[in-house]
Structure 1
Amino acid sequence: MSAKHSKNFILLFITAIIWGVAFVAQSAGMDYVGPYTFNAVRCLLGGIVLIPCVIFLNRSGKKNVEKSGGTEEKKVLDRPGDLLIGGLLCGFMMFVSTTLQQVGIAYTTVAKAGFITALYIIIVPILGIFLKRKAGMKIWISVAIALIGLYLLCMKGSFSLSKGDFLILTCSICFAIHIMVVDHFTEKVSGTKLSCIQFLFAGVLSSVLMFAFEEPHWADIFAAWLPICYAGILSCGVAYTFQIIGQRGTDPTIASLILSLESVVSVLAGWIILGQTLTGREILGCVLMFGAIILAQINPKKKSQ
């Protein structure tokens, strides 16, 4: 694995860890505020905390490029048109995805929600076929192993689609599209700027639903400050930015496989933080998931130029 692939893997793996633990924060936050309020505040917070980072990186970017001579990494052009369009598209897909997930999880179990959400690992390569980005046989085998692992990890009963399951399935499709949109724009613009714009736009859209369907109160928001700060600063501000940066030069199918480890992390977080037990079936699911990721990372096929 090259140094660049190792760096991308680490960033995406950290993203999966943060997202996995975020399930605990999302569950706790819903005890105080509604789904639209939670999403609105966390997205706006995620965008706001990135503004100083954008200013700092913008000032230091030119100096770093001059010192490195532009040899370490291809310079990102940051054309205003690409940055704005990319940020709005990513923000819209994130708004739709997080809204469907937050509402859908109220009508289904957390385990089924985790399994269905992670189905983007199969949706991404299918979308890639239509975009003339076919995955190799090794990647499809990795996806199949990951799906089996996810099923063992998350599903404990018969599988049937309820209202909540359908919303989560639609959310998974939107997450897959979000990954493909990020893949398209990540080579053209700064990851931090793209992330900042997407959060602010998603936060504005969520705020419309918040005021239309809920009655937000500052007291309730402040009562949920800890889960909101985790979801806003770490899950949004840090993790989604790492996703955008980590996807640069990474096959979107491999990226989706690594990100799907959030389901494994969520189970492990429940075991470590909440004291929940792990069955042999769940442990086997975790092992299969990690095995699928390792298989996909062995001599990964380089993106076509």
Structure 2
Amino acid sequence: MKTGQIKNVGILLLTAIIWGFAFVAQSVGMDYVGPFTFNCVRFFIGGVVLIPCIAILKKYNGAEGQKKETDSRTEWIGGICCGVALAAASCLQQIGIMHTTVGKAGFITACYILLVPVFGLFFHKKCGILVWIGVVLAVAGLYFLCIDENLTIGRGDLTVFLCAIVFAIHILVIDHFSPKVDGVRMSCIQFFVSGILCLVPTVLLEHPHMVELLAAWQPILYAGVLSCGVAYTLQIIGQKGMNPTVASLILSLESVISVLAGILILHQTPTSREVLGCILMFIAILLAQLPIPSKKSRQ
């Protein structure tokens, strides 16, 4: 693995850790405010946090930063597309978390590892055999994690699964635009777009009060500054030059972190069936990271 790829893997792994603990913040936040309000505020916080970062990076990059100004139109298109997908996926996830555990929500969200390679086929993105073996194992893992002994799936689990579908689209959109634009600026645009989209149902359906927002300041601040401002930007930077399926598998480690965070912080203990599902998914994630020897190296 090249040095640049190792750096990207490290960036995506840090992103997964931040997101894993964000599931706890999202769950706790629902004790005070509605899902649209939570997302609306955290997205605006994420966008505001990135404004000084953009100014600092522009000054630091100098001439290189000036050169990227020519991509502003593509940047806005990418930011808007990412923002729409992010708003839809995050609201589905936030609603789903209200009806399921943090650990289950984390692993079901990681279902995008199955969907990214499938959707990627429509864009002529090929994957190795080990990735597909990992996908099969992940399907088995999701079965034990989500389907109970009565072969039923909960309302929250189904909603989070729909969120995973949209997150898979979000990853492919980022893969399309990130090589062409400045990742931090596009990330900032996507947050404000997502915040505006969430603002409409917030005002019409939830009518939040300042007292409720102040009571939820800790989970909202974590979700806004770290999960949005830091992690989504790291995702865009880390995905540059990487296969989107491999990137999605690294990011899906957030599911493992979410289970640990749920146990340590919220004292949510998974059943033996759910533990088996988690183990299968973790094996799938690791298996898909193994390099496939090239034909030249075998000769």
* Alignment TM-score, normalising by the size of structure 2: 0.88
> Counterpart in 2 of 1:30?
30
Letter in structure 2 aligned against 1:30: M
Match in the other structure for 2:231: 239
Q: How does 1:120-199 map to 2 (within 5 A)?
A: 120-152=112-144, 157-199=149-191
Gaps of 5+ in 2: 295-299
Q: Corresponding residue for 1:225? A: 217
Number of matched residues?
294
Q: What is the CA-CA distance between 1:3 and the residue it aligns to?
A: 1.1
Q: Which of residues 180, 192, 207 in structure 2 aligns to 1:200?
A: 192
Q: What corresponds to 1:16 in structure 2? A: 16
C-alpha distance 242-161 of structure 1, shift in aligned 2 (>3 A): same
Structure 1 pair 76/151, CA: closer, same or farther in 2 (3 Å)?
farther
Mapped contact 2:104–2:145 kept (Cα < 8 A):
no
- Correspondence for 2:79: 87
1:261 aligns with 2:220: no
Alignment-mate amino acid for residue 250 of structure 2: I
**Partner letter of residue 231 of structure 1?**
A
Q: Contact 1:88–1:201 (CA<8 Å) still a contact in 2?
A: yes
- Structure 2 equivalent of residue 292 of structure 1: 284
For residues 133 and 249 of structure 2, the distance between their equivalents in structure 1, rounded to whole angstroms, comes to: 12
Instruction: Compare 12-21 and 271-280 and name the one that shifted more.
Output: 271-280
Q: Secondary structure at the match of 1:79?
A: helix
- Report the alpha carbon displacement of residue 165 of structure 1 after superposing the two structures with TM: 4.0
Choose from 194, 209, 213 the match for 2:201.
209
Would the alpha carbon gap of residues 255 and 32 (structure 1) be closer, same or farther in structure 2, given more than 3 Å must change?
Answer: same
Contact 1:143/1:257 (8 A) holds in 2: no
| Superimposed CA distance per residue, residues 90-115 of structure 1 (whole angstroms, 9 cap, x where no aligned partner) | 00100011111212333445555334
Shift of the 228–55 alpha-carbon distance from structure 1 to 2, 3 Å rule, reads same
CA RMSD of aligned residues (A): 2.6
1:222-274 superposed Cα distances (whole Å, 9 cap, x missing partner) = 11110000100011111111111111111111111111111111111122223
CA distance in 1, matches of 2:291, 2:69: 29
TM-score normalized by structure 1? 0.87
**Equivalent AA in structure 1 for residue 14 of structure 2:** I
- Contact map agreement 2:143 2:277 (CA 8 A) in 1: yes
Contact 2:110 2:164 in 1 (8 A): yes
Displacement of 1:147 after TM fit?
A: 3.5
CA contact (8 A) 1:112 1:155 kept: no
1:39 maps to amino acid: N
| Greater Cα shift, 139-148 or 216-225 | 139-148
Kindly indicate whether the alpha-carbon contact (under 8 Å) linking 1:20 and 1:266 is maintained by their aligned counterparts in 2. yes
1:105 touches 1:113 (CA, 8 Å); kept in 2? yes
Shift of 1:24: 0.7
2:36–2:91 contact (8 Å) kept in structure 1: yes
Alpha-carbon distance between aligned partners in 2 of 1:151 and 1:78, rounded to the nearest angstrom: 47
Report Cα offsets for 1:63-89 as digits up to 9, x if no partner: 6889xxxxxxxx967601110000000
Question: Secondary structure of the equivalent of 1:264?
Answer: helix
Q: Deviations over 1:167-220 (max 9, x none)?
A: 323211111100000000110111111111100110111111111111111111
Question: Is the 1:13–1:259 Cα contact (8 Å) retained in structure 2?
Answer: yes
Give the letter aligned to residue 220 of structure 2: I
Letter paired with 1:298? L
Aligned to 2:125, what secondary structure does the other structure show?
coil
8 Å CA contact 2:146–2:153 kept in 1: the answer is: no
CA distance in structure 2 between the aligned counterparts of 1:162 and 1:285, rounded to whole angstroms = 16
Give runs of ≥4 in structure 1 deviating > 6 Å: 63-66
SS at match of 2:62: helix
- Cα pair distance change 1:154/1:301, threshold 3 Å: farther
